[in-house]
Structure 1
Amino acid sequence: MSTYVYAITRADHPLPVDGLRGVGDPPSALRVLRTGGVAAVVGDAPPGLRAKRRDVMAHQGVLETLMADGSTLPMRFGLVAPGDDDVTAALDREAEVYGERLAELDGHVEFNLKAGRDEDDLLREVMADSDEVRRLNERTRTQSGGHDERIALGELVAREVTARHEREAEEVAARLAPAATRASHAEPGPQQFLNLSFLVPREGADAFVAAVRQEAEQRGDAYAFTLTGPLPPYSFV
């Protein structure tokens, strides 16, 4: 049977897996594979595994239990190896790398921050700041504006919006950086200018949340900040 991999830890991690149940119906018991200075928490991989709520929550529960007792490299839901021997071979081969990453993540959690701005508010700012946008906009609203000018207006506005999104993303990241150890960028979704994960010391989590709240309040109602966490540090594994 294939092996489902939940996490990698140090070999001296307490590994409280007794009584924990993993993915599958019925849920599979967990076991530990050790080699050198690292270990993997695994279980049997059920056939036809899909991201059902029950299984996702089981996966998350295992990670939270392990993280509460020591540094843990969380694997994303659905990671399956052909068998235990393959997992052990990977541990042997990458033991030094895993050890370094575990040391880096020790005592840390992840927060994900997404931020967006009201489109009308942003467009009003673009219009107020750019003489060229105002000129083209006025021409397209009258008979003097042609197809080419409408295209030019659209392209110019798009460039201005992109530039402002990039600048605001850099500003937010820079202001929150002192409260975090590392940051990892991801592609923002529609209507967003920021999708950023932060690696935060566990004891500094409250201060980080307060810094995000302050940033959101300073920017005002035209901005929407969504903070998720604390999470297992998936983005930094």
Structure 2
Amino acid sequence: MTTSDDALTYVYAAAPLTADLRDVLRGLRGIYGAPVLFVPAPPGTGRGDPPAALAFATSRVPRRDFSESALKNHFEDLEWLEGVARAHHDVVQALSTRTTVLPLRMATVYQDDDRAAQALAEQYEAFAERLARLTGHTEFGVKIYLAPSASPAAGADTGTGAGAATSPGKAYLQRRKAQHNAQEAVYSQAQRAAETVGAIASRYASQHARHPTQRGALTGPGENVVNDAYLVPDPYGEPFRAAVEEAVSAFDGVRVEVTGPWAPYSFAMPPAEHQHPTAGEERGP
């Protein structure tokens, strides 16, 4: 059991403190199965009349795993990271089904609820403005992959057909040239597919974010050459997906993956926080 003395406050997201938020938190579990609660901004926070007060969605996590020193070690433990990332994502996605959320970075922790509330108060206006922009929108991801290269067919292009040079050196150069030409053709198709997606997005999406392409096991078969995110108004979400999938089906040699709808991770962009750390154990967005 984690007591108040050996626990920290983990923050998943900021959201309007509405009846919908209270409803979705009932029974919701986060990291290590801890109940997800909310920490409201202190009374009197904010200027004007926002649609609703803001709150952090939080849970209590053990200091032994989420202190600054412990996190440095855990960030090298891929299995632990995967479990925490999945729990964080699941909470944010559950919230996003009922309300607009501003996702915070994984491993955003504070010494206690009072420190979390103070941080929310300091960024209240920025969070409220950003949430207002995100209301009624969700995120869609579009990734473009090159299909795995096929070996050039035997024949004149590879130096093995009738009349081809019999020199091994010339045959090798011809094979390399054929492979290069085939790869260039695939890259050209990927570029055209990206331009097509961009043209479609200009009709549906309100914002666009470009992420670094993925490498290694994350990509599956084929090279990832485009990794983009789009903020799309809710009524246009499925038409956007359908338009992209239909348009890119005409391109050979590339695979296009449309994912979502997601909580707007790529468009949260919380400002740098003025924190009040204690003993180096407080981390924020």
TM-score by length of 2: 0.62
Partner of 2:56: 40
Shift of 1:58: 4.0
Cα distance in 2, alignment partners of residues 20 and 116 from structure 1: 36
- How far does residue 13 in structure 1 lie from its aligned partner after superposition? 5.9
| Structure-2 separation of matches of 1:120 and 1:29 | 47
Normalised TM-score (structure 1): 0.73
Seen in structure 2, the aligned counterparts of structure 1 residues 163 and 225 have a Cα distance that, compared at 3 Å, is closer
Q: For 2:88 and 2:169, how far apart are their aligned partners in 1?
A: 62
SS at the partner of 1:219? Answer: coil
Contact 1:13 1:69 in 2 (8 A): no
CA-CA distance at 1:3 after TM superposition: 0.8
User: Partner of 1:15 in structure 2?
Assistant: 21
1:172 match: 197
Q: Which residue of 2 aligns with 1:188?
A: 213
> Which residue is equivalent to 1:88?
117
Counterpart for residue 233 of structure 1: 264
One-letter identity of the residue aligned with 1:200: V
Indicate whether 1:62 and 2:91 are aligned: yes
**In the alignment, residue 30 of structure 1 is paired with which amino acid?**
L
Find the residue that maps to 1:24 and give its secondary structure. Answer: helix
Q: Work out the percentage of aligned pairs sharing the same amino acid.
A: 29
Shift of 1:114: 0.8
- Rate the CA distance shift 1:215–1:95 in 2: closer, same or farther, 3 A: same
Q: How does 1:111-122 map to 2 (within 5 A)?
A: 111-118=140-147, 120=149
Shift of 1:115: 0.6
Task: Provide the secondary structure at the position in 2 that maps to 1:197.
Answer: strand
What displacement does 1:231 show? Answer: 1.0
C-alpha contact (below 8 Å) 2:146/2:186 kept by paired residues: no
Counterpart secondary structure, 1:19: coil
Write out per-residue CA displacement over residues 112-164 of structure 1, whole angstroms, 9 at most, x where no aligned residue: 1111223648x9xxxxxxxxxxxxxxxxx97999xxx9xxx9xx98xx68984
Equivalenced residues, count: 219
Distance in 2 (CA, whole Å) between partners of 1:206 and 1:20 is: 27
**Contact conserved, 1:177 with 1:183, CA < 8 A, in 2?**
no
Which residues of structure 1 form unaligned runs of 5+?
A: 124-140
Distance 1:101 1:162 in 2: 39
How far apart, CA to CA, are the structure 1 residues paired with 2:186 and 2:113? 48
Question: Residues of 2 paired with 1:110 and 1:223: CA distance?
Answer: 23
SS in 1 for 2:259: strand
Task: Check conservation: 1:109, 1:233, Cα contact below 8 A.
Answer: yes
Q: 1:215 aligned to 2:247?
A: yes
Alpha-carbon distance, 1:232 to partner: 1.0
* Residues 1:207 and 1:168: Cα distance change in structure 2 (over 3 Å): closer
Q: Which amino acid is 1:48 matched to?
A: D
CA drift of 1:210 comes to 0.5
RMSD: 3.8
Residue range with higher mean Cα deviation, 73-82 or 38-47: 73-82
SS in 1 for 2:117: helix
Q: Secondary structure at the match of 1:99?
A: helix
* Distance verdict in 2 for CA 1:9–1:161, change over 3 Å: same
Partner AA of 1:32 in structure 2: V
| Aligned counterparts of 2:136 and 2:187: Cα–Cα separation in 1 | 36
Which range is displaced more, 106-115 or 31-40? 31-40
Q: Measure, in 2, the Cα distance between the counterparts of 1:215 and 1:28.
A: 44
- Residue 110 of structure 1 and its aligned partner are, at CA, apart by 1.0
Which consecutive residues of structure 2, in runs of 5 or more, have no partner in the other structure?
A: 1-6, 47-53, 67-79, 153-165, 216-222, 269-285
